[in-house]
Amino acid sequence: MEIHVGGAAPYDVVIGRGVGDRVLPMLGDGVRRVAVLFPDGLRHLAEPVIADLGKAGLAVLELPLPEGEGAKTAAVAVAAWDALGEAGFTRSDAVVTVGGGATTDMGGFVAATWLRGVPAVHVPTTLLGMVDAAVGGKTGLNTAAGKNLVGSFHEPAGVVCDLATLGTLPHDELVSGLGEVVKCGFIADPEILRLVEEDPAGAVDPASPVLAELVRRSVQVKVDVVVGDLKETAGFAGGGGHPGREALNYGHTMAHAIERAEDYTMRHGEAVAIGMVFVAELARRTGHLDDATAARHAGTLAAVGLPTRYDGAPYEQLHAAMKVDKKSRGDQLRFVVLDGLARPRVLAGPAEADLRAAYERMRGA
């Protein structure tokens, strides 16, 4: 199946099994050299892509990356730029990423910044990468101050989601990706929640049609939101207060604080799950969300094995981390909350008492 992403720089997201041959045509004509960025531990998944590019007569520069969030550092970016420079990459050359969300973040950033932008095709190999990181053009790296604070918008030339790679994932990694899937259900497509709740076993089965449908629906949610507000600046015109792309940050303000507190050792989808429980309670306490929908967050997430509690860092530490979140404005914290299913909005400057109460709910108190 294909999902078309419109806008100023349109591209397609291909979803299916055995679709690796779609990478080459997405690169377009005129490309002579391709840098393939991949985690060193996923070389076996990158090799078929590298072989196909080589057979087509392209010169391939292999750029192995550290695993996970360890790839998203300034030092890794500098090393990639140096390698591109030594290989003589020009604006007519391209980047291909093969890996999870950290790989597409870093590979996209390298493509966005080399010569102020060269084409990139993403081949996400994780559920998280397919439904979130690879689509929408956000790229970035981490600093000591927080996650994704340095980055740029750089839409890819195409995205190829080969569902067969989901079968190579450790179970916990697949489950983690469902954090972003469930998020899409709450902010835009409640059918996602129904599918997860009615068949949680199918949702975590990499070969099931349920998971394939969850991927399709989640990608469609992200595409619909991104096309309406690519650079997360204005929300949806005439959208009745819809925060636009910022809606995709549902649960992320607390999630990023937790990830930083855990030195990025917690999986992103797990942190997002906990962050959604936090923000659902915040919305309930501030009169935006009814009790049943707030409680549904923990129930749906727990059904597929995602965490719903966290007590690993004190409130003061997490609050300080949230203040440097990229969605904050000055000293004012901003959270995406729900007024109901598929009705996201921004809550700015919530009261300290409500923040602390939501934190206690997150701790399981």
pLDDT at 238: 45
Under 8 Å CB-to-CB from 351, ≥6 apart: which residues? 286
Query: Is 179 labelled a binding residue?
Result: no
Q: Return the pLDDT at 328.
A: 62
Q: What is the mean pLDDT of each run of 10 residues along the chain (365 residues)?
A: 89 94 92 96 95 96 94 96 97 96 95 96 96 88 88 94 95 97 98 98 97 97 86 57 89 96 94 98 97 97 98 96 74 92 95 97 86
> Looking at 167, 197, 221, which one is the last position of a domain?
167
Within 13 Å of residue 15, how many CA atoms lie on the same side as its CB? 24
One domain for residues 199 and 289: yes
Q: What is the CATH number of the domain that holds 325?
A: 1.20.1090.10
Apex 212 CA angle, 211 and 218, nearest 5: 85
Per DSSP bridges, beta strands 158-162 and 344-348 are unpaired
Considering the domain architecture, whether residues 138 and 223 belong to the same structural domain is answered as: no
Instruction: Please indicate, yes or no, whether residues 185 and 123 belong to a single structural domain of this protein.
Output: no
Query: What's the CA gap between 59 and 50, in Å, rounded?
Result: 9
Look up the CATH number of the domain holding residue 130.
3.40.50.1970
Q: Are 200 and 304 in contact (CB under 8 A)?
A: yes
User: Does residue 323 carry a catalytic annotation?
Assistant: no
Q: Is 282 a known ligand-binding residue? A: no
The question of whether 154 is a catalytic residue gets the answer no
Domain encompassing residue 331: 170-362
| Together in a domain, 151 and 177 | no
User: Are residues 178 and 135 located together in one domain of the fold?
Assistant: no
- pLDDT at position 326 is 60
| Residue 231 in tokens | 């650079």
Q: What are phi and psi of 305, to 5 degrees?
A: 90, 15
Tell me whether residue 138 is one of the annotated catalytic residues.
yes
For residue 226, the model assigns a pLDDT of 87
Question: 37 and 157: one domain?
Answer: yes
What pLDDT, on the 0 to 100 scale, is given for residue 297?
98
Residues 98 and 203 in one domain: no
Contact between 177 and 269 under an 8 Å Cβ cutoff? The reply is yes
Pair (107, 197) in one structural domain: no
Query: Is 44 a catalytic site residue?
Result: no
Query: Does 230 share its domain with 347?
Result: yes
The number of folded domains in the chain is 2
Tokens representing 16 are 């299916």
- CA 278-282-285 angle, to 5 degrees, is 140
pLDDT of residue 306: 98
Judging by beta carbons within 10 Å of its beta carbon (0-12, 13-18, 19+), is residue 351 exposed, middle or buried? exposed
Residue of 22, 142, 216, 232 marked catalytic = 232
- For position 148, what pLDDT does the model report? 86
360 is in an annotated binding site: no
Domain boundary among 167, 199, 232: 167
Q: Residue 208 CB: number of other CB atoms within 10 A? A: 15
Query: Is 252 flagged in the annotation as binding?
Result: yes
